[in-house]
Chains A and B, each alone.
Chain A
Amino acid sequence: MAHLSIQSAGYMSKNEAELRRIFLEQVNFIPAGERIKRCIQCGTCTGSCPVSYAMDISPRQLIALFRAGEMETIMKSRTIWICASCYACTTRCPSGIKITDIIYALKRTAMEKNYLSQAKHVQILANLFVSNLMKYGRLHEGTLIRNYYLKVGFWKLFKLIPLAKKLYQTKRLSLFPKRINAYHSLSKIIKKAQEIDLRITAPPLEYSTDYVGYRALGEMKLEQRKGE
């Protein structure tokens, strides 16, 4: 594979290098994350994705853009936020690439670098979900949905009235959130984990952040594929 290296691929911008560094750090924590190197651009992921028709960049193109040193285009895309985590792509990828997890890593990179994409409402929902969990220890769906619509457009709440009414009639609507008893011990865990997240230094990468193209991904170790 080494002979395929694009020697004249050129250097990348500082921003691109930073985005790649954060992203590849995340990839390191995905079991079998390094298989991203093996993409053969067959498009099975795109063909298996039930929502690819609504994406601006297809899942296959995500990997192509990453290779090409276009992380910023990915960060601004709607694609990473519309993924519903159905894992159809991951199941079918002939190279065993953990595409859904790769998309998670891209989401985290975008959140960390504060990219306000076209789909910032997804980020709003994610942040509200996290704060709901921190506050009560369990998710209270009513609070989450109410707070979400208060942020993205409260008039949409009115559209939910028929559904809320049905839930109420069938005794499925809980009006108030309740904290778990062990709330304090849970928040201690969360606080510590946040500290750890900040101090984590990823092990040295075998990827280069200086180059784009195949060369940035290092040489593919073909022998590793045997016996999988």
Chain B
Amino acid sequence: MKYAYYPGCSLEKTQRGYDESVREIFKTLEQELIEIEDWNCCGATIYMSVKETVSLAVSARNLALAEKMGLDIIAPCSSCFTILAKTNRILSQIPEMHKNVNEALAESGLSYSGKTRVRHPLDILVNDIGIESIIHKAKRSLNGLKVAPYYGCQIVRPEKGFDDRENPILMDKLFSKCGADIVYYPMKVRCCGGMLMTTFEETALKLNKELLECAEKHQADVIVTTCPLCHMNLEGYQDKINEIYNTNFKIPILYFTQLLGIVLGLSESKLGLDSAFIPVTPKLKSIMEVQYV
């Protein structure tokens, strides 16, 4: 299958590990990702919350470009995913808004009829490609690695999507088939605070401390994430949390695509694992060192 790839702003540089691992695993699974030419920022939560027609038109430009390519969008970033999907929903339910947005798009010779579907890589991997075909290509087993799957907010909410909103299980299923031991992680859809790390730091630090605490309590070797913002908060602020709360967290944070890449036998550098702040635990290290034939 071919998809229109929409990396989103944070995957360009700060979260390059996500971008690199998505591209690599899709290549390995023989799926073609064609990056949307000259895509623009989807507007993210912030923009969506302050402007109406402008924010919808900005994100609809990407949908229109993908429609022209005749492909569905694949958006790994949770915020992009939810904003693009939300734009679709608003445009289909409020015809007046659809008309206004098309009027704005027409300024640059674009129009959007509403056909582009917005998909998340996790959905495509599990529901389209299928766990069985992925396992077929697996080169390594996760061998009892204790994984805490953290879904965050925006890929499962607000509307009923590809997984359950209160207890999503796609990552649990995927990685347990890869040999991992999925730990009990009741905080799997609890918010990390997102941009609050910039605006209300104290609150966001507390939320992230609770997420880490829960993973540690259940002896997770690694937390796997699906969202650049969750990833940044959990990884980049772990030191600060240790400092403030007098804790000693050292939990590696990996994108689910990176962990899957390890299973598929891809190298550390191809998966952007060299960009991680927190070194992987010895157990994961030993899995990664397994040479396959």
Chain A residues with CB under 8 A of B189: 88
Is A50 touching B191 in the complex (CB atoms < 8 A)?
Answer: yes
- Chain A, 38-61, CB within 8 A of any chain B CB: 50-51, 54
Is B158 touching A180 in the complex (CB atoms < 8 A)?
Answer: no
CB of A150 within 8 Å of the partner chain? no
Docked CA distance A102–B103 (Å): 26
CB of A68 within 8 Å of the partner chain? no
Contact with B along A177-196 (1 / 0, CB 8 A): 00011100110111111101
Task: State the total of A-B contacts with C-beta under 8 angstroms.
Answer: 190
CB of A141 within 8 Å of the partner chain? yes
Is A181 touching B38 in the complex (CB atoms < 8 A)?
Answer: yes
Stretch of B10-18, B140-148, B216-224 contacting A (4+ beta carbons < 8 Å): B10-18
Is A180 touching B16 in the complex (CB atoms < 8 A)?
Answer: no
Chain B residues with CB under 8 A of A220: none
CB of B35 within 8 Å of the partner chain? no
> Given contacts A51-B207, A139-B9, is CB(A189)–CB(B105) below 8 Å?
yes
CB of A170 within 8 Å of the partner chain? yes
The listed residue (B49, B105, B106, B194) touching A126 by CB distance below 8 A is B49
Give the interface SS of chain B, mostly helix, strand, loop or mixed.
helix
The listed residue (B53, B195, B199, B277) touching A193 by CB distance below 8 A is B53
| A127 (CB) vs chain B CBs: closest residue | B50
Docked CA distance A12–B80 (Å): 41
The listed residue (A90, A188, A197) touching B54 by CB distance below 8 A is A197
Given A91-B158, A193-B53, output 20 extra A-B contacts at Cβ < 8 Å: A51-B203, A82-B200, A82-B203, A86-B194, A88-B189, A98-B158, A111-B50, A126-B50, A138-B12, A170-B276, A172-B14, A172-B275, A174-B12, A180-B38, A180-B40, A181-B38, A185-B107, A192-B103, A193-B57, A197-B54
Interface residues of A (CB under 8 A from B): 26, 29, 31, 50-51, 54, 81-82, 84-88, 90-91, 98, 100, 103-104, 107-108, 111, 119, 121-122, 125-126, 129-130, 133, 137-141, 145, 148, 162-163, 166-167, 170-174, 180-182, 185-186, 188-194, 196-197, 200, 203
